[in-house]
Amino acid sequence: MRSPLIVALDFPTLDQAVACAQLLDPKVVRVKVGKQLFTSEGPAVLSALHNLGFDVFLDLKFHDIPNTVAGAVSAAADLGVWMVNVHASGGRRMMEAAANSVAQRGNKTQLIAVTVLTSMDDADLADLGITETPAEQVLRLATLAQSSGMDGVVCSAQEATLLSRQFGRDFSLVTPGIRLPEDDASDQRRVVTPWDAIDGGATHLVMGRSITGASSPADVVDQIIARLA
């Protein structure tokens, strides 16, 4: 049975990403391809991961005028990705255009919207002229995303409980910033452990270095799943 884990393949080359993916079970985890890897290798990395049997979350966080974003997400859907994302701060017209574009493809690509990056806190929002707390801003953007046709949002697990109560379990809550207790938070600010995130209502957990940096990534996955169970 596939777990809620999405392993972030944050590597600079296709060979490194595939080497790590080959240590994982596509029946158990999904994988995420971000900006660095996709910019370096392009669609070839998606083909390689699909050939290994993985569902792929293409994490490019599109944010542009509606027509441009609609074209970008439809191209991603045509590449067969399981999930792709946009920035909710792009607004209703942008998200609606993206949702309509994916719907016209008739496939099962999930379209989700980024609310507030997990690297940001109150001070970062204040620098942008936003006086709300991260939780208040996340709820505002998630509400806009849901009403604009998104399948879910990217949020901190700290906000998952609030959003789960508001939108129910059919609205995907994809949570980065997931760390094991012994891990360094690095550049993340709003971090949570995997079990606390699931208890709080997260539907998917994005984890990178905690898994990919381990000597045996599969063993770490097994330990996390056992704890979640």
Catalytically active residues are 61
Question: 67 among the known binding-site residues?
Answer: yes
What are the 10-residue block averages of pLDDT along the chain, 229 residues in total? 93 98 98 98 98 98 98 97 98 98 91 93 93 94 98 93 93 92 58 89 95 96 93
Give the three-state DSSP class for 84.
strand
Phi, psi of 218 (to 5 degrees): -65, -35
| Owner of token pair 């056992």 | 226
How buried is residue 141: exposed, middle or buried, by Cβ count under 10 Å (0-12/13-18/19+)?
buried
Model confidence, pTM: 0.93
pLDDT number for residue 189 = 54
- Which one, of 12, 61, 3, lies nearest residue 30 by Cα? 3
Alpha carbons within 13 angstroms on the beta-carbon side of residue 117 total 11
Catalogue all structural domains in the chain, each as residue range(s) with its CATH number.
Answer: 5-228 (3.20.20.70)
Residue 108 marked in a binding site: no
| pLDDT score recorded for residue 119 | 86
d(CA 113, CA 4): 18
The reply, when asked if residue 66 is annotated as ligand binding, is yes
Angle, CA of 15, 18 and 71, to the nearest 5°: 95
Residue 169, pLDDT score: 86
Task: List the one residue out of 148, 147, 163, 149 whose CA is nearest residue 203.
Answer: 163
104 is in an annotated binding site: no
As given in the structure block, the two tokens for residue 10 are: 């944050």
